[in-house]
Amino acid sequence: MSIVIDKNICKSCGRCLSVCPGSLIKKDTENKAFIKYPKDCWGCTSCIKECPFDAISFYLGADIGGMGSKMTVKQRDHYLDWNIEKTDGTVETIVIDKKESNKY
Amino acid sequence: MEIKRKERLETDILIIGGGTAGCYAALTIAVESPECSVIIAEKANIKRSGCLAAGVNAINAYIVEGRKPEDYVDYANKDADGIVREDLLLTMSEGLNRVTAKMENLGLVILKDENGKYVARGNRNIKINGENIKPIMADAVKKLSNVTVINQVNITDYIIENNEIAGAYGFSIEEDNTDGNLSGVAYEIRAKKVLCATGGASGLYKPNNPGFSRHKMWYPPFNTGAGYAMGINAGAEMTTFEMRFIALRCKDTIAPTGTIAQGVGAKQVNALGENYEGKYGITTSQRVYGTVKENLEGRGPCYLRTEGISEAQDDSLKKAYLNMAPSQTLKWIESGKNPSEQNVEIEGTEPYVVGGHTASGYWVDTNRETTLHGLYAAGDVAGGCPQKYVTGAMVEGEIAAKAMVAAIQSENKTLSEKSADEFDKKVAEYDAILQNTTATYSIEQLEEAMQKVMDTYAGGIGNHYQFNESQLALAEEKILKIQELAENVKAEDMHELMFAYELKERLTVCLTLIAHLRARKETRWHSFAENLDYPEKSDEWLKYVNTKKENGKIEVIFRDLVKRGETYEHSNR
């Protein structure tokens, strides 16, 4: 369970560093964010919701059945667009309306 | 690295831990007594820290129409088979709807019917969109002018003077870089009253996924039992640690099962497709126990039977999980099979000590004051009040906040004198770990050793949650040895210094847990405390098992049950 931060997209704003409930994200020598303790990630996805530049994606470890897909999320008004990109390049999108309650 | 800066702060109330209970306490103090100064010392950042980081699927503790708070007390009492504090459960239950209304005011989305009434999910739950429940609380707290939030400060010890709490020591997990060289910052925070709201303890046992995904667990891996450990070491009385919590979860992702079970009515079935719920009972521990037994008797794996649900139900499930446990939705998509096409495999987690679900934690009076004068406890760290969940943790924060404010107003005392010596000693202890050159074992190695011992000898997953007295004796012996080794670890930076203290905290909690497991000589809750030397339950054990560490030794104290309608006050602290 962990995340990948795309160094080329990261703008060094530091928002992911402060929001991580484990403080696991730090800055490297180029001032870019990186996950220093990938095995310590809880998988809460707070950082990917926080990043304004969609630089962070989330994946399942192979030990829990991960197949290499990457999950990102985009904030749009009161919507969260969750995108899951599979290894074959196809993307599945699920839109969550934050104003709507869970059905269950 | 060394500590170069020593910060000394003063406040009326110090809240340790800015999670659910801590934040709600701050919101309450601001209403009750806006002139009262508050510091929240938070290990991470209150925006997403604690149990609510990813969100929560529903409000699981609510008094729905036609029910009363007493019904909730009955439910929790039954689930814990009698070992609860009814005074705490009732005062908690009476506040559930009040705090829910406040959360709705702050912006929490709650599902309503055409008449504007909340839509119930079962007898005690209401439906919400809880993805942003923590940011909503955190935003409200940040607006309070009397509250200072200090993020990324790890508190390690209470300051106790004249048998009374006087504040706490800790350090920033971020380095100071003001003079171009990285160094550490230590804190002494003096307060008239302190609220411990640090949450429960995870990471005591070898987890379901011990490798790369070791932190893909039910409870926050960052809740390491700091509050319990500080209390234990300061001589606070603890209760019912032996009622461990084991969650029944979706395999691998360790995502909640309740949403599937309640949402689409999925039953627990074994590999033969047989519904085994009726066979073992449906209390929280019985659901776990049944799953263990079915596996042991060769009828595993076990599942939630979702095959055959509709496409619309598939979609609703995937959305619901994105709002609380996104990994499960990702898992469904990656597997190429929706829940309607494949039953969801389930497993029990490793055991935790967590007072929001079971009754483990500080022994408190009805006002949530602990046995240490001036120290209060709320949320997962407070004992006696199981099934409190999110809203119950808020109510406890509220009760403790009101009691602290009232005490400050009536006592009219001033902050005690600073003792520079004690602070210096604490800083020297931090520096010794930062500058240690003789460490043989890494913090990680010792954590793994601890988890293996607990798994093998104190009823972990590997032992199907079972133990006997010989095993517990070995567990104690081995944890004590690891505790010795943990006195000689090294931290390269301030974050690792936190890891060092987290290890020490967990070891302290393990020893108290073992003492509790040994003391209750019966099996009242299958799996949660499955003592093979005493496989039956007995009415003789309708009492609390409490412990208190005195002169380095854990003493067991048995106490009579506190009944509904009683108010409990500490009489012999």
Pairing of the two strands B38-41 and B530-531: unpaired
Choose the mutation target among A58, A82, A101 for the interface with B, i.e. most B CBs under 10 Å: A101
Could you tell me if B390 and B52 are in contact, meaning their C-beta atoms sit under 8 angstroms apart? yes
Whether B370 and B339 map to the same domain: the answer is no
Write down the pLDDT at residue A1.
54
CATH at B252 = 3.90.700.10
Whether B382 and B322 map to the same domain: the answer is no
CA distance B432 to chain A (A): 23
Contacts of A2 in chain B (CB under 8 A): 212
Q: Element (H or E) spanning B230, and its range?
A: helix B226-233
Look at residues B109, B347, B94 and name the one whose alpha carbon lies nearest to residue B218: B347
Does any domain span residue A102?
Answer: no
Does any domain span residue B541?
Answer: no
- Do B47 and A20 count as a contact with CB atoms less than 8 A apart? no
Does any domain span residue B284?
Answer: yes
Among partner residues B215, B217, B331, which is closest to A65 by beta-carbon distance?
Answer: B331
Give me chain A's average pLDDT, please. 94
Give the distance from CA A69 to its chain's centroid.
Answer: 12
Contacts of A98 in chain B (CB under 8 A): 109, 129, 131-132
pLDDT tens string for chain B (573 positions)?
999 999 999 999 999 999 999 999 999 999 999 999 999 999 999 999 999 999 998 999 999 999 999 999 999 999 999 999 999 999 999 999 999 999 999 999 999 999 999 999 888 999 999 999 999 999 999 999 999 999 999 999 999 998 899 999 999 999 998 778 899 999 999 999 999 999 999 999 999 999 999 999 999 999 999 999 999 999 999 999 999 999 999 999 999 999 999 889 999 999 999 999 999 998 999 999 999 999 999 999 999 999 999 999 999 999 999 998 999 999 999 999 999 999 999 999 999 999 999 999 999 999 999 999 999 999 999 999 999 999 999 999 999 999 999 999 999 888 876 677 999 999 999 999 999 999 999 999 999 999 999 999 999 999 999 999 999 999 999 999 999 999 999 999 999 999 999 999 999 999 999 999 999 999 999 999 999 999 999 999 999 999 999 999 999 999 999 988 899 999 866
Does any domain span residue B101?
Answer: no
Structural domain count, chain A: 1
Does any domain span residue A60?
Answer: yes
Does any domain span residue B27?
Answer: yes
Residue A75 one-letter amino acid: Q
Tens digits of residue pLDDT in B467-498:
999 999 999 999 999 999 999 999 999 999 99
Write down the pLDDT at residue A9.
97
- How far is residue A76 from each of residues A48, B295, B356, measured CA to CA in Å? 14, 45, 34
Whether B459 and B334 map to the same domain: the answer is no
Does any domain span residue A69?
Answer: yes
- Do B252 and A64 count as a contact with CB atoms less than 8 A apart? yes
Last residue of one domain, picked from the residues B313, B330, B348: B348
Q: How many CB pairs under 8 A join A and B?
A: 171
- Do A66 and B128 count as a contact with CB atoms less than 8 A apart? no
Among partner residues B213, B263, B319, which is closest to A1 by beta-carbon distance?
Answer: B213
pLDDT band at A26 (very low <50, low <70, confident <90, very high): very high
CA distance B268 to chain A (A): 18
**Which residues sit opposite A72 in a β-bridge?**
A83
Report cis status (omega within 30 of 0) of the bond before B301.
yes
Separation CA B461–CA B466 (nearest Å): 9
Last residue of one domain, picked from the residues B300, B323, B348: B348
Choose the mutation target among B209, B215, B318 for the interface with A, i.e. most A CBs under 10 Å: B215
Choose the mutation target among B330, B349, B493, B499 for the interface with A, i.e. most A CBs under 10 Å: B330
Whether B12 and B138 map to the same domain: the answer is yes
Residue of A nearest to B495 (CA): A23
Does any domain span residue A66?
Answer: yes
Q: Cβ contacts of residue B245 below 8 Å, gap of 6+?
A: B200, B351, B352, B353, B354, B357, B358, B360, B528
Q: Cβ contacts of residue A32 below 8 Å, gap of 6+?
A: A5, A7, A10, A12
H, E, C per residue of chain A: CEEEECCCCCCCCCHHHHHCCCCCEEECCCCCEEECCHHHCCCCCHHHHHCCCCCEEEECCHHHCCCCCEEEEEEECCEEEEEEECCCCCEEEEEEECCCCCCC
CATH at B487 = 1.20.58.100
- Do A96 and B334 count as a contact with CB atoms less than 8 A apart? no
- Do A20 and B495 count as a contact with CB atoms less than 8 A apart? no
Does any domain span residue B67?
Answer: no
Maximum separation of any 2 CA atoms in chain B, in Å: 69
Look at residues A57, A104, A47 and name the one whose alpha carbon lies nearest to residue A83: A57
Does any domain span residue B77?
Answer: no
CA distance A9 to chain B (A): 23
Whether B375 and B452 map to the same domain: the answer is no
CA distance B101 to chain A (A): 16
Whether B339 and B385 map to the same domain: the answer is no
Does any domain span residue B232?
Answer: no
Host domain of residue A19:
2-97
The residue ranges of DSSP E strands in B151-183, in sequence order, are 153-161, 164-172
Last residue of one domain, picked from the residues B297, B325, B348: B348
Structural domain count, chain B: 3
Could you tell me if B506 and B447 are in contact, meaning their C-beta atoms sit under 8 angstroms apart? yes
Could you tell me if B187 and B12 are in contact, meaning their C-beta atoms sit under 8 angstroms apart? no
Contacts of A64 in chain B (CB under 8 A): 209, 213, 216, 252-253, 327, 331
Whether B262 and B329 map to the same domain: the answer is yes
Among partner residues B53, B211, B316, which is closest to A42 by beta-carbon distance?
Answer: B53
Q: Cβ contacts of residue B312 below 8 Å, gap of 6+?
A: none
CA distance A65 to chain B (A): 7
Write down the pLDDT at residue B412.
82
Pairing of the two strands B3-16 and B38-41: parallel
- Do B216 and A21 count as a contact with CB atoms less than 8 A apart? no
Whether B170 and B194 map to the same domain: the answer is yes
- Do B327 and A99 count as a contact with CB atoms less than 8 A apart? no
Does any domain span residue A12?
Answer: yes
Whether B38 and B147 map to the same domain: the answer is yes
Look at residues B487, B500, B242, B481 and name the one whose alpha carbon lies nearest to residue B355: B242
- Do A19 and B322 count as a contact with CB atoms less than 8 A apart? no
- Do B213 and A61 count as a contact with CB atoms less than 8 A apart? yes
- Do A98 and B129 count as a contact with CB atoms less than 8 A apart? yes
> Residue B51: exposed, middle, or buried by beta-carbon count in 10 A (0-12, 13-18, 19+)?
buried
Pairing of the two strands B530-531 and B466-467: parallel
Among partner residues A41, A82, A86, which is closest to B215 by beta-carbon distance?
Answer: A41
Does any domain span residue B288?
Answer: yes
CA end-to-end span of chain B: 41
Whether B304 and B368 map to the same domain: the answer is no
Among partner residues B173, B209, B260, which is closest to A23 by beta-carbon distance?
Answer: B173
CA distance B213 to chain A (A): 5
Q: Cβ contacts of residue B86 below 8 Å, gap of 6+?
A: B73, B77, B561, B562, B563, B564, B565, B566
> Residue B271: exposed, middle, or buried by beta-carbon count in 10 A (0-12, 13-18, 19+)?
middle
Give the angle B442-B448-B450 at the CA atoms, nearest 5°.
Answer: 105
Separation CA A94–CA A81 (nearest Å): 6
CATH at A57 = 3.30.70.20
Q: Per-residue b/e over B190-201, b at no fewer than 16 CB within 10 Å?
A: bbbbbbbbbbbb
Residue A61: count of CB within 10 angstroms of its CB: 22
- Do B335 and A65 count as a contact with CB atoms less than 8 A apart? yes
B303: left (phi over 0), alpha (psi -120 to 50) or beta: beta
Contacts of A20 in chain B (CB under 8 A): 44-45, 48
Whether B341 and B365 map to the same domain: the answer is no
- Do B333 and A84 count as a contact with CB atoms less than 8 A apart? yes
CA distance A8 to chain B (A): 25
Does any domain span residue A104?
Answer: no
Residue of A nearest to B319 (CA): A96
CA distance A41 to chain B (A): 6
CA distance A54 to chain B (A): 17
Separation CA B120–CA B379 (nearest Å): 24
Whether B380 and B447 map to the same domain: the answer is no
Host domain of residue B392:
3-53+133-177+184-199+354-420
Among partner residues A39, A86, A101, which is closest to B214 by beta-carbon distance?
Answer: A39
Q: Cβ contacts of residue B282 below 8 Å, gap of 6+?
A: none
Among partner residues A45, A59, A64, which is closest to B54 by beta-carbon distance?
Answer: A45
CATH at B13 = 3.50.50.60
